[in-house]
Amino acid sequence: MDEDNSQPQQQENEKSRFLEFRPIPYGTKRDGELVLNRYSSLVTNGYEFPGAQAMLYAAGIKSQEDMRKKPQVGVASVWWEGNPCNMHLLDLGKTVKEGLEKNGMIGWQFNTIGVSDAITMSNQGMRFSLQSRDIIADSIETTTCAQHHDANISIPGCDKNMPGCIMAMARHNRPSIMIYGGSIKGGYSERLHQPVNISSCFEAHGALMYGKISEADLDDVVEHACPGPGGCGGMYTANTMATAIEAMGLTLPGSSTTPAESPAKMRECLRASEAIRICLERDIKPRDLITRESFENAMVVTMIMGGSTNAVLHFLAMSHTADLDLTIDDFQRVSDKIPYLADLKPSGKYMVADLAEIGGMPSVLKFLIHANLVNGDIPTVTGKTLGENCKSAPSLDPGQDIIRPLSNPIKSSGHIRILKGNLAPGGAVAKITGKEGKVFVGKARVYNGEPALISSLERGEVRPDENTVLCVRYEGPKGGPGMPEQLKTSAVLMGADLRNVALITDGRYSGASHGFIVAGHIVPEAQVGGPIAVLKDGDIVTINAETNQISMSVSDEEIASRLKDWKTPRLKVTRGTLAKYVHLVGDASHGAVLDMF
């Protein structure tokens, strides 16, 4: 060794709450070469851990030279069969591993679990979706740290995958890159002569319930909505998170908008090895990139693109894991000054695959950097700044209409609003594009759980003759449990063209939801005695996106009296993984994280 490495180097932020690993100090050289296997060499060099070395030989290391010198990179794919968002990720991982080996590194593929939000939507399986985010983070942290990997490349596909991967990066804080699995192709219904996607299925169901289409029409939509692998194709939660994470500098340029089945996605997987080597050589770590400045970019891009309300929940969790102090009020601050420009589904016309045709996210970021809306000076996984990454991207064609000019926005401020009031003292998150209005006043109709509301809709009890605020409660992080998404409800209302209805909940709505809705996150949730627990049928509810208020026409004294008579319901789950989740999870206004202690 050219330098003495007896003094350990502090790697983690001083206030980090995670187990500290002490690698060989950065800058150490061996035989005149920079040591890149700073973590794995603790078990692969010397004679202290012969059993570990024997196991690694058995797993595929071919020589003592490789054992002692090559960095070991974990390739974590959120792969499983049965979900188009994730079914191709194992193959992408194999391509990543191929690139690593060509660039003098050792790649170890491993998997973590996932949950399909579309398959579990509005059934009991959705209770497991949000907690999968934390299991993914746990899995990647566990394997990375236990196996002494020197770096990590994570390959997510579905909604909770992306924040789970980033949370893991913030925990182990070793050189890391995220590769988004890419978007699905758009579908087409020959019977209805129109493009379709996963959201179309839920809306078509609502149209069927209210007699607007036939069963054969619905069958055709369902059969053709998802024509292959890739994440759901609108600016739903998966693409919201992917585009925001690219704006944070945690992916290669274009990762978020490169289609799943394109040759460009395979080329990206090969190029990832070059970038991870740069990160190893320059000691570029996740916490160098996950900063207040990069979160500002993420929030701006979410507003520009019309992204999912789930971004609020996930950004808060990611920032908490990185020991940053992002709050829900930051989202309102950004929303007040950033316009909504992207004509993308669910509220707009186009899919992310269409965005890829006009230059993808690099072109969008180039435009936003030039407009001084996005910080192009932040560092990225390429070793260059975000602005340098986008410099060679084509400029957006003035003739395209996917991304509106600043002079003609869809909405002059952001579509995500943070609402507070006597119905949500701790905050609620609204998704209001302005197309359905900015103020809604209606009589409450209260349901203890989404199944009760779905049954009411199926019986045709929600009619278009008066303004109604449908309230679904006991669906929060603890009450759900798992804060389930309620796309089925919002999609049914859109499909049935019930435009005089607003929805509020202590649960969540999907990134595919649209219409005049409060996308939930009402805090405190009903299960812990929040005011939403004592909302009654007939109470007048006001949702005001101009003053950022959500309130019920009930006095503070009456609310206190109702809460005095209210009794905490029995938890729905008392054993198994969800029971553990219920006892650990915090509230939605802090990201529904499990480590609030």
So which residues are the catalytic ones?
A: 510
CB 309 within 8 A of CB 520: yes
Cα(124)–Cα(136) distance, rounded to whole angstroms?
A: 20
Helix (H, G, I), strand (E, B) or coil at 193: coil
Q: Is 386 exposed, middle or buried (0-12, 13-18, 19+ CB in 10 A)?
A: buried
How many CB atoms are located within 10 Å of the residue 478 CB?
A: 25
Q: 516 — phi, psi (to 5°)? A: -85, 95
CA atoms within 13 A on the CB side of 321: 29
- What DSSP assignment string belongs to 410-434? SBSS-SEEEEEETTEEEEEEEE--S
Q: Which tokens hold the place of 563? A: 């809460």
Helix axes 198-209, 487-495, angle to 10 degrees: 60
Using alpha carbons only, what angle is made at residue 485 by residues 482 and 490, rounded to the nearest 5 degrees? 155
Cα(225)–Cα(161) distance, rounded to whole angstroms?
A: 22
Show Cβ contacts of residue 577 under 8 Å, excluding neighbours closer than 6 positions: 128, 131
CB 213 within 8 A of CB 207: yes
Helix (H) or strand (E) segment spanning residue 188: strand 187-189
